[in-house]
């Protein structure tokens, strides 16, 4: 496990109130593979609250990713949904948990909210 991965999971509880405002309730098991080893994280989510532990257990959904891909995700260099669609990672179970969890990943560098771009354009024309 990389230090960045450890810091990412440690940051989840503090970030949860602003990231998890929807209906995501359940447990997501995240399996990160490196070679022939897999490390497990169990992420319990409720609106505004997250608890992440280094364990396996009963889960409503399971997401597998390579450790290298996960490092790219937490750096904003890759997108979780795109990785699943390209079969670079796999997911099974309650898709709402995956969609909610991916909001913890940063946007790619240089990404701008289209609503903000539109507001700036309207302000420029006024």
Q: Domain spans of the chain?
A: 3-125
* d(C-alpha 31, C-alpha 40), whole Å: 5
- Name the DSSP letter for residue 60: S
Task: Give the side-chain half-sphere CA count within 13 A for 10.
Answer: 6
For the chain (126 residues), the mean pLDDT of every run of 10, in chain order, is 91 94 91 95 95 94 97 94 95 95 87 78 79
CATH level 2 (architecture), domain 3-125: 2-Layer Sandwich (3.30)
What is the pLDDT at residue 1?
Answer: 66
What is the pLDDT at residue 107?
Answer: 83
What is the pLDDT at residue 73?
Answer: 96
Q: Which residues contact 106 (CB under 8 A, 6 or more apart)?
A: 74, 75, 76
The pTM of this model reads 0.84
From residue 81, how far is each of 1, 20, 54, 90, 117 by CA, in Å? 22, 17, 23, 10, 24
What is the pLDDT at residue 23?
Answer: 79
Measured at the CA of 35, the angle between CA 96 and CA 99, to 5 degrees, comes to 10
- Helices 3-19 and 67-74: crossing angle in degrees, nearest 10, is 50
Query: Can you list the pairs that 34-39 forms with residues at least 24 positions away whose Cβ atoms lie under 8 Å?
Result: 34/66, 34/67, 34/68, 39/1, 39/67
What is the pLDDT at residue 111?
Answer: 74
What is the pLDDT at residue 122?
Answer: 83
What is the pLDDT at residue 13?
Answer: 96
Contact 12, 29 (CB under 8 A): no
Contact 21, 104 (CB under 8 A): no
């Amino acid at each position: 496990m990389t230090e960045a991965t450890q810091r990412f999971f440690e940051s989840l509880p503090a970030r949860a109130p602003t990231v998890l405002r929807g209906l995501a309730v359940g447990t997501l098991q995240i399996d990160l593979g490196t070679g022939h080893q897999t490390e497990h994280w169990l992420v319990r989510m409720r609106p505004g609250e997250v608890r992440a532990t280094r364990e396996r257990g009963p889960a409503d959904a399971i997401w597998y990713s390579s450790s290298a891909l996960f490092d790219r995700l937490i750096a904003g260099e890759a997108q979780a949904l795109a990785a699943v669609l390209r079969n670079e990672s796999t997911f099974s179970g309650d898709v709402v948990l995956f969609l909610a969890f991916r909001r913890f990943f940063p946007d790619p560098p240089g990404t701008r909210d289209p609503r903000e771009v539109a507001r700036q354009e309207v302000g420029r024309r006024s």
